[in-house]
Structures are given as structure tokens and as C-alpha cells.
Amino acid sequence: MEKWTQGWLAYRPVKEAGNAQLAGSMKLTGFDREHPIVQNAVSEFCRGIKGMLGISTVLACSGEPGKGVSVERRQEIPAEGYHIQETGGVVNLYASDEAGILYGIFHILRLIAMEEALAGIDAACRPDNPLRMYDHWDNLDGSIERGYSGNSFFFQDNKILVNERTRDYCRLAASVGINGVVINNVNVKEAATWLITERYLGQLGKMAELFAGYGIRLFLSLNFAAPIELGGPDSADPFDGKVTDWWRQKIAQVYEAVPELGGFLVKADSEGRPGPFTYGRTQADGANMLADLVRPYGGIILWRCFVYNCTQDWRDTKTDRARAAYDNFIGTDGDYRDNVILQIKNGPMDFQIREPVSPLFGALQKTNQMLEVQIAQEYTGHQIDVCYLVPMFKEALDFNTCAGCPSRNTCTGDAACCDKRSTVADVVSGRTMHNRNAGLCAVCNTGSDENWTGNDLAGANFYGFGRLAYDTGLTAAEIAEEWIRLALSNDREVVDTVRRILLTSRETYEKYTSPLGIGWMVTPMLHYGPSVDGYEYSRWGTYHRADWQGIGVDRTKQGTGYAQQYANPNASLYDCAETCPEELLLFFHHLPYQYRLRSGKTIIQHIYDSHFEGVEEVEEMIACWKKLAGKVEERTFENVSERFARQLENAREWRDQVNTCFYRKCGIPDEKGRQIY
Ligand code: GCV
């Protein structure tokens, strides 16, 4: 049997901090102890306090007055929320539903694991975002598209796996508040198309039931051309009656076997995937056809906005991939059923280390929206290099879209209307549109590796995304600290060192890879390691446009016009090089190498300096990590050390290739005379 760790649910022995007395037993009022979520909450509680405090409780759901945890139903608590309050030596956990209990129990266990006293606690928590999802890109043969931590634990040899590891996955996911999971790759091909057939429905039913016991709804990615590929009508036209009849029957069959199914995720008309454009229909036409059919079952349709031309001619400087999501979807705003959610990547390109926020957020005023981020580190180091992504996600959530601002086209940024913030967080939480079909999802970074995430430190992203999705008010530092204390150690030196590593890791990665928002420059298809011109003359629309005089993509009014997709003041800020945030300068502007940044440095000198600094920072991280030998579990120490060695090699390669390439393009030497090849 393969082995796997318990991640942040390791429940190692801890200092009891006065908690032993309080955690001694559990009493339930108003909840059915046979309910699967309640059962799981109780068994998690028993398991946790046995591991951490050495206390063997108790008959599930019994309790003596005067000690223990008392669980009580309170209808006024919001869905999936809870209130933990200690009074008179009893820890009271109030919730209105079973998911709230489960989350509350995980909260209590988290505090015990962090050696924090439960005495005096008064914490009322509710999810900031209705949907909080992990999207897996797992294929049925067991491979994972953009997976960097082994094979799938959902699929093997075209079979669905439901076993103890599935349960542990659910425990990890639920412990951070995840309530939806897409198990299969959005590129639905071959065997995956058959997921919605008898061949798989039995196992899917079991999996969905297991998930439901942890408050998680199972979702499937769908092949829009399934009618054709599964022997139905020879068309997938959403306006063709034969096609809708086929889907109606299919969806009825699926829901009969998998009643807990949350719905479907669709990647249509993108990177070779079929979609409604083939039939001259809009994205809304495609999404609505499915939405109407899943509605009777309470299902929802997640429809991706990652629609762009992937057969571009690099000579064409007017077509701009960054424009594509907005151009393809803005005209359909308001056309979608209320059980459709448009799933929008955080940036307009594709999960680069630095991108502006997608201008679709907020610009869509009458359509449900969901933020899609990626914790699988496709472009951010493949879970070899450490790259803690929560700060990036917070940045996206904090971005003020200026949506709904009455003077959005004339606003200069200092008008009073700018106080009425319409951040991405407001939009995807449903606060802006007062809707429940909204939320966040992350392309997940897990696999069958013993530690789930390849690099142990990538566990911070697996954990952090969920915590942030539930409680967007948490800071990246708070989340990092929690994860370290739960997964690694409560030792102060460990906490401080690893927190510093995590919190600086994104900037470090950015420094030794692609500067000032230019992105890409990665080895084509693999997306790890440098290849400055690797995509420059390809069909993918991901160009840096560097020549001997300058670098960057002109996305201003004179260029592709992309900057104008934002509401003001963002549009005018981005349009002008002097006001454009410098970390995004080359995303929006093509500038000479001698252009001076606010630091006084030229662009080329910034490129040289940041690449040398990036490598030095990796060396410093490694030196800090080495000091933790003996302070973290040996397996973790070895795992991270091995990853760091590879990261350093990668960083050096990036530094030398990027510096050399740009030196050769422009002929301007490094002011500091360092080695460039
Ligand atoms: C699942 C990028 C990735 C693809 C991925 C795609 C997507 O292009 O490289 O592997 O496909 O994004 O998000 O659909």
C-alpha cells in the first residue's frame, strides 16, 4: 500500500495550553449524530485530540456537563458558518448546518495544534465566498496535466479510485473550507468523455457520497462534443433539438446515479476543445443549454473564459491574446442563466508570475463570476522551486475594478466615487451582485506523492488557497504561519524562518525569471526553465517583442488597445508608462532598454540586477533552511533540501540565459561588470 502524509492534519503531540480539560468530550444538541458530516466531525475531533493531547474520548456525541465541547444548532448562524465560544469551562460550538460544525471542529483542532488556549475564545466565522473549489486536471489514465507531484489519486488505468486516500484528501480539503471539487481535467478527451456513462457512474456515486460527508460537492469537467463522441446525434449544436434531448437524458441518467453532483465545468472553444462557436452560437447559448438541463437537480454550470486564438501569427502585432477573454465574453453579459458562473483566470494571459488582473472582473455587471487561480505551479517553478502564491491571490482579490462606478469612464482616480470599492473580492464573493453563485477555485497542486504536493513547502499553497477562500480577510503572513505551525512545527525558529522564506518566495522567483510583467520566456510546452525566445515565433500569442532597441508589448491605445478594457482610472493608469505600476511596465509598454525606472535604473540594468539578486536570494533561503536540520521532520528536511538544490540550479540557468540573451540583443554592458556570457 502506498504511503502518504497527513499534511497539516498530522495531529502531533502538543503542549496542552490548558486545552485538555476543555476538549475532554463532546455533546451534541439539535444535530443528528448519524448524519455523515456529523459523524465525520466527531471522528475527526476524537482523532485530533487523541493525537495531540493523548486523550481517548469518548463515545461519540456523549458528554458530561462542565467540560468538553458542546455542539448546538443555532438557526441564525449563516450557512457553513459557526461560532465558537467558551463559557464556564465549556467550549460551545454553534452552527446552523452540519458543514458549520465540521468547520468549527477543524477550527478547534487547529487552535489545539497551534498550542493556543481555547479558554476565553469567542470566534464567529462565516465563509466570505459561497463556492470554494479545487479544480484537478487529472486524466483517467492517471496522469495529471501540469501535475508536479506524482500521479492522480482519483484515477488509475482508466478506473476511478475511491479509498482511504480519497477520504484523507476530503479531510484536508474540508479542514480549510473547500466545498466543491472538480476531479477531472478540463481538457476532456478519450476515456474522460465516458465519465458520464454507465461505465463510471457507480464509482462516481460512491465518490460523491464520500465527498458529501465532508460538505464537498463533486463536479465533473464535460466534453461539449460528448453527444457526437458517445454515439448520439452527429452534432453538438445547442440549438438542435436532438442535441438537447440527448443531453436531457444523459443528465437525468447521471443525476440518478450521482444525486450529490454539483454540476459541470466546461472548457469550450479553447485550445482545440469543441464549443458553441463551431455552430455559430455564443458561449452563453452553450452554457444556458446545459444550465437549463441541470437546474431541476440543483446543478450549476461553470463555464471557463479561457477562450483565445491559439493559432496566432507572431508577425501580427494587433491580435493580442490578453484581450481575448474580454472580447469573447463582454458582449454576452446578462445573457446567462442564474445557475451559470463564468470562471475567469486571475490574469488575462495564463497564470504567469506577474499579470494584471483580468479586466473582465467587474466589467461583467450582470453575470455570475468566479476567480480561477492556479496552485499547481505550472509557470511558477513546478513545485521544485518554492513559490508561495497566497500574496498573489490577495493582490488579485484586492484589485479595485471600479465596476459600477458612475463616472468609470471619466474618473481620474481621486474622485469620491473611488471610495465605493468594487474589488475582485467584492465581485467573486457575490457582494456586488447579491448572488450566491460566485466564488473562487484553484487548479490544484496535489498528486500521489507521499507528501501530496511534491515539495513539502508547496503544501502552503494547498492549505492557503482554501483558508483564503473561506476567510479572505486573513493575511498571507497569517495563513503561512498557521500552515507552518500545523504542518511543520510550533518552534519559533522554524516558524520565523519558513514564514520569511514563503513570504519572499514569489518576488524571488520573479526576480530570476521574467522581469517587469513580461512573463513567459519559459521552455515551450514544459514551462520550467528559461528559453527567452522559446515562444517568440510560435502560434501561442505569448510574445515579449524584444529586439536590439527595446522590450515589451504595446498594449496602449496606440498598440493593441488592451489597457482600454479596464474602467478608469485603471485604463489611464496602465495606458501611460509614467503611471503604470512598474512591476507591470513591460506587460503594457514597449520601451527602450535605456528607459529609466523610478529607481533611477535603466530597464536593462534592472534586468541584470534583479537576476543576480534572485539567485542570491535563493542561496540565502538555502542557508536559512539548512539551520532547521533537526528541527523539522527528517523526511521534510530532506525533501525541501533536495528541491532547493534544483531551484538553485534553475535560478542560475535563468539568470545566465536571460542576462546573456538581453546583453547580446542590446550590447549594453552591466554597470557592475558582473559575469555575463
Ligand atoms: C488544461 C494552459 C495550460 C494547459 C491548460 C490550459 C487551461 O494553456 O498550459 O495545460 O489546459 O492552460 O487552462 O485550460
How far is C-alpha 241 from the chain's CA centre?
Answer: 37
Residues 349 and 214 in one domain: yes
The C-alpha cell 490578453 sits at 322
Taking the CA of residue 187 as reference, the ligand 1 atom at the shortest distance is 1
Question: Of 458, 478, 498, at which residue does a domain stop?
Answer: 478
Kindly state if the Cβ of 187 falls inside 6 Å of ligand 1. Answer: yes
* Cα(277) to centroid(ligand 1), Å: 19
Kindly state if the Cβ of 499 falls inside 6 Å of ligand 1. Answer: no
In this structure, what C-alpha cell is assigned to residue 243?
Answer: 442535441
* Distance between CA atoms of residues 78 and 572, nearest Å: 40
* Distance between CA atoms of residues 549 and 409, nearest Å: 34
Q: Which of 152, 345, 349, 350 to mutate to test the pocket of ligand 1 (most atoms within 8 A of CB)?
A: 350
Residues 596 and 629 in one domain: yes
Phi, psi (deg, nearest 5) at residue 212: -60, -30
Residue nearest to ligand 1 atom 11, measured at CA: 187
* Cα(267) to centroid(ligand 1), Å: 10
* Residue 558 maps to a domain: no
* Residue 2 maps to a domain: no
* Residue 502 maps to a domain: no
- Which of 97, 135, 138, 350 is labelled catalytic? 350
Residues 107 and 187 in one domain: no
Residues 80 and 203 in one domain: no
Taking the CA of residue 527 as reference, the ligand 1 atom at the shortest distance is 9
* Residue 567 maps to a domain: no
In this structure, what C-alpha cell is assigned to residue 304?
Answer: 471557463
Taking the CA of residue 267 as reference, the ligand 1 atom at the shortest distance is 14
Kindly state if the Cβ of 143 falls inside 6 Å of ligand 1. Answer: no
The C-alpha cell 482508466 sits at 158
pTM score of the predicted model: 0.97
Question: Of 67, 96, 125, at which residue does a domain stop?
Answer: 125
Q: Which of 146, 188, 321, 372 to mutate to test the pocket of ligand 1 (most atoms within 8 A of CB)?
A: 146
Q: What is the 3-state secondary structure (H, E, C) of 614-628?
A: HHHHHHHHHHHHHCC
* Residue 291 maps to a domain: yes
Residues 192 and 210 in one domain: yes
Radius of gyration of the chain from its Cα atoms, rounded to whole angstroms: 25
Task: Look up the domain containing 167 and give its range.
Answer: 131-478
Kindly state if the Cβ of 540 falls inside 6 Å of ligand 1. Answer: no
* Residue 566 maps to a domain: no
Residues 101 and 156 in one domain: no
The C-alpha cell 458530561 sits at 64
What is the per-residue pLDDT for 59?
A: 47
| CATH number, domain containing residue 626 | 3.90.1330.10
Question: Of 91, 125, 159, at which residue does a domain stop?
Answer: 125
Kindly state if the Cβ of 308 falls inside 6 Å of ligand 1. Answer: no
Kindly state if the Cβ of 511 falls inside 6 Å of ligand 1. Answer: no
What is the per-residue pLDDT for 214?
A: 99
Burial 313-349 (b: 16+ CB within 10 A, else e): ebeeeeebbbbbbbebbeebeebbbebbbbbbbbbbb
* Distance between CA atoms of residues 376 and 497, nearest Å: 24
Residues 408 and 452 in one domain: yes
Kindly state if the Cβ of 350 falls inside 6 Å of ligand 1. Answer: yes
Kindly state if the Cβ of 145 falls inside 6 Å of ligand 1. Answer: yes
* Cα(194) to centroid(ligand 1), Å: 21
Kindly state if the Cβ of 189 falls inside 6 Å of ligand 1. Answer: no
Amino acid at site 314: W
Residues 172 and 292 in one domain: yes
Kindly state if the Cβ of 267 falls inside 6 Å of ligand 1. Answer: yes
In this structure, what C-alpha cell is assigned to residue 299?
Answer: 446543478
* Cα(443) to centroid(ligand 1), Å: 10
* Residue 419 maps to a domain: yes
Q: Are 419 and 402 in contact (CB under 8 A)?
A: no
Residue nearest to ligand 1 atom 14, measured at CA: 186
- pLDDT tens for each residue of 238-257: 999 999 999 999 999 999 99
* Cα(205) to centroid(ligand 1), Å: 28
Q: Are 508 and 614 in contact (CB under 8 A)?
A: yes
- Which of 271, 313, 338, 493 is labelled catalytic? 271
Q: What is the 3-state secondary structure (H, E, C) of 57-114?
A: CCCCCCCCCCCCEEEEECCCCCCCCEEEEEECCEEEEEECCHHHHHHHHHHHHHHHHC
In this structure, what C-alpha cell is assigned to residue 593?
Answer: 532598454
- Which of 44, 378, 481, 617 is labelled catalytic? 378
* Total number of domains constituting the chain: 3
- Kindly report whether the peptide bond that precedes residue 569 is cis, defined as omega within 30 degrees of 0: yes
| CATH number, domain containing residue 266 | 3.20.20.80
- pLDDT tens for each residue of 302-332: 999 999 999 999 999 999 999 999 999 999 9
Kindly state if the Cβ of 167 falls inside 6 Å of ligand 1. Answer: no
Residues 118 and 136 in one domain: no
Residues 120 and 168 in one domain: no
Q: Are 107 and 129 in contact (CB under 8 A)?
A: no
What is the per-residue pLDDT for 536?
A: 98
Q: Which helix (H) or strand (E) holds 302?
A: strand 300-304
Q: Which of 188, 265, 270, 271 to mutate to test the pocket of ligand 1 (most atoms within 8 A of CB)?
A: 271
Considering only the C-alpha atoms of the chain, give the largest distance between any 2 of them, rounded to a whole number of Å.
79
Given a cut of 70, the residues of the chain with pLDDT beneath it are 1, 58-66, 406-421
* Residue 659 maps to a domain: yes
| CATH number, domain containing residue 100 | 3.30.379.10
Residues 279 and 399 in one domain: yes
DSSP 458-485: GHHHHHHHHHHHH-TTS-HHHHHHHHII
Q: Is 350 considered catalytic here?
A: yes
* Cα(306) to centroid(ligand 1), Å: 9
Residues 116 and 64 in one domain: yes
